[in-house]
Amino acid sequence: MITVIGSLNLDLVTYTEEAPQAGETVQGDFFEEHLGGKGMNECVASASLSKPERRSEVRMWGRLGDDRQAELFLSKLRALNVDTSLLEQVSDVRTGTASITVEETNGENRIIIVSGANGHMKPSDEELGDAFTLGSSDQKQYAVLQNEFPNPVKVINWLAESRPEVVKFYNPSPLKPEMLDRTTLNNVEYLIVNRGEAWSLINNIIGESKDADSLQEKDENTLVISRLRKFLSRPTLIVTLGSKGCIYSLPKDNPDNYGFVPSRKVANIVDTTGAGDTFLGAIVARLYEGVPLKDALIFATAASSLAIQRKGAVEGIPMYEDVCRIIR
């Protein structure tokens, strides 16, 4: 079972030539609603990028409000055959929202997130025990986490202590200094960050930053992996490089070595929202199927290349069959 724990936000997006100043009213061009939230994105990606017969083995654990928006999320997940038994609706609370204003002239955006029901996602030890029951030794259990619910650190450390057989995937985004603990980070099996997040981890935990002198000695990819390995001995490291692809390092690799998977070039980038979540969900889905890590990364890179050619976070996530067609 793949359990995605995290946020569900309705993205309210207004496009305008110029954002209003304080006390000013301007005319917008158009408005869109999109399903989003990192938890929802990662769950939809994990299911969509699994083989059809395995999608019922993906489940979403989070909180929704008791409003009309909740049904939009439930309908999408059920259409993918995702297990929604751990999704609860909180009385007298709104579903989480992200209000986004996009200036079309320069692409700048302003975002206000209201956590709403996501702020109530605080699983107790008993709830964690019920969700992650002890199964047979050959039953895979994956947990996927990020920082868009109140206490992912508590969940990671509980799983490490009480359910060590659960494979944990952690994207510590958005980065929060109070959650950057080396013990917690070493309690996960897979750590997935972008290059900027990687350097923030390095700077916050061991006080080292990227500088010109260091880069004269090593290329940046080698440098970032070797620096992360100074305090992260356990997890497999995956660092995304935007348009350049991704690098990865297995726990027992030489700290100065790394694997590389190039990006897939696309002619027309429409929307990068949710591309990283698509990438993560694809990795989880393929590893759950038992494929080698590099093959999973190649598949994930292809999936994210399709996602950025479509509008919307959830709506842009491709299906398993779509990705198979372009990597054959």
DSSP helix, strand, coil percent of the chain (3-state; round to 5): 40, 25, 40
Which one of 67, 130, 277, 295 is the catalytic residue?
A: 277
What span, in angstroms and rounded, lies between the C-alpha atoms of 251 and 154?
23
Upper half-sphere CA count for residue 132 (Cβ side, 13 Å): 28
The alpha carbon of residue 20 and the mean position of all alpha carbons in its chain are separated, in whole angstroms, by 31
User: Which residues, at least 6 apart from 267, have a Cβ–Cβ distance to it below 8 Å?
Assistant: none
What count of other Cβ atoms lies within 10 Å of the Cβ of residue 180?
16
Q: Which residues pair with 280 in a beta bridge?
A: none
What span, in angstroms and rounded, lies between the C-alpha atoms of 121 and 241?
31
Tokens in use for 166? Answer: 């659960």
Tokens in use for 82? Answer: 């995702």
User: Which residues, at least 6 apart from 152, have a Cβ–Cβ distance to it below 8 Å?
Assistant: 5, 145, 146, 170, 172, 179
**CB of 177 within 8 A of CB of 197?**
no
Is 256 among the catalytic positions? no
Please list the active-site residues: 277
